[in-house]
């Protein structure tokens, strides 16, 4: 997918954080972008901000969808197809985290993390796979280094991201026969509002959301014969502990 102008991308959780940074870079490369959020107001506010990065008349569409609901995700996909005509690129980015020991983790917190991060990735691909077959498109999930490195207090988050990594790699083997490329990106520390963090200059050592956007563009521009199926990315120089 070396020619990106006028391609169409769907980014879940695109109203902030990594999803917003990816949407920004997609628009800056002439790609039409649909972003989803659980809040239509948040999606619209983000879309208004993202317009400034669009080139070549690339369009931005704000959609309301909770990735925990297959019906809502399917409705958002149908709306994107109606408004933008196709789906060539899917970024399964929506995610959240609850952290604490197994003794502290509530059933409700566990379900929210698994349903959002893991089932959400499945629902996103399941609802777009027919479109990706038609376009010979690209599905990219945003996992985490927590999808290969476990840590205390990470029962739900580790489980979800280990799952996303495994799910995406298995889907890659399922779908490459159709000319669909599938990759997962596994970032380390990213400067976003995730888990109550407040981005500031103190976090300049962290990966920036736009950096993940640049990585997505690099993947999309790679020769069709070559597939980096799993990419780990981490800050170059983290602070000394």
Contact, 173 vs 123, CB < 8 A?
no
Residues 83/34, Cβ–Cβ less than 8 Å: yes
151 Cβ neighbours under 8 A, 6+ residues apart: 158
Provide the token pair at 100: 């604490």
Check 53, 70, 157, 178 and give the catalytic one. Answer: 157
Catalytic residue flag (residue 157): yes
DSSP letter string, 96-146: ----B-TTT--HHHHHHHIIIIIIHHHHHHHHHHHHHHHHT-EEEEE--GG
CA dihedral 38, 73, 119, 49 (to 10 degrees): -40
Give Cβ neighbours of residue 204 (< 8 Å, ≥ 6 apart): 191
Within the chain, strands assigned E span 8-11, 32-37, 60-64, 89-92, 138-142, 181-187, 190-191, 207-208, 230-233
List residues with catalytic annotation: 157
């Amino acid at each position: 997918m070396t020619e990106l102008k006028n391609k169409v991308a769907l980014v879940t959780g695109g109203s902030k954080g990594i999803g917003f940074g990816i949407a920004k870079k997609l628009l800056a490369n002439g790609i039409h972008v649909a972003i989803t959020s659980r809040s239509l107001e948040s999606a619209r506010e983000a879309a208004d901000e993202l317009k400034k990065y669009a080139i070549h008349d690339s369009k931005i569409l704000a959609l309301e969808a909770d990735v925990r609901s297959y019906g809502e995700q399917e409705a958002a996909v149908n709306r994107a197809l109606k408004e933008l005509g196709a789906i060539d690129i899917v970024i399964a980015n929506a995610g959240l985290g609850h952290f604490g020991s197994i003794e502290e983790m509530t059933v409700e917190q566990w379900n929210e993390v698994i349903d959002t991060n893991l089932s959400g990735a499945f629902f996103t691909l399941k609802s777009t796979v027919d479109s990706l077959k038609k376009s010979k498109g690209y599905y990219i999930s945003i996992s985490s280094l927590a999808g290969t490195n476990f840590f205390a207090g990470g029962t739900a988050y580790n489980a979800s991201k280990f799952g996303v990594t495994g799910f995406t790699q298995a889907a890659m083997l399922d779908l490459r026969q159709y000319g669909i490329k599938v990759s997962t990106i596994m970032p380390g520390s990213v400067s976003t509002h995730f888990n109550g963090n407040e981005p500031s200059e103190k976090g300049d050592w962290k990966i920036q959301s736009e950096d993940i956007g640049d990585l997505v563009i690099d993947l999309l521009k790679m020769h069709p014969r070559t597939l980096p199926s799993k990419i780990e990315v981490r800050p170059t120089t983290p602070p000394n502990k």
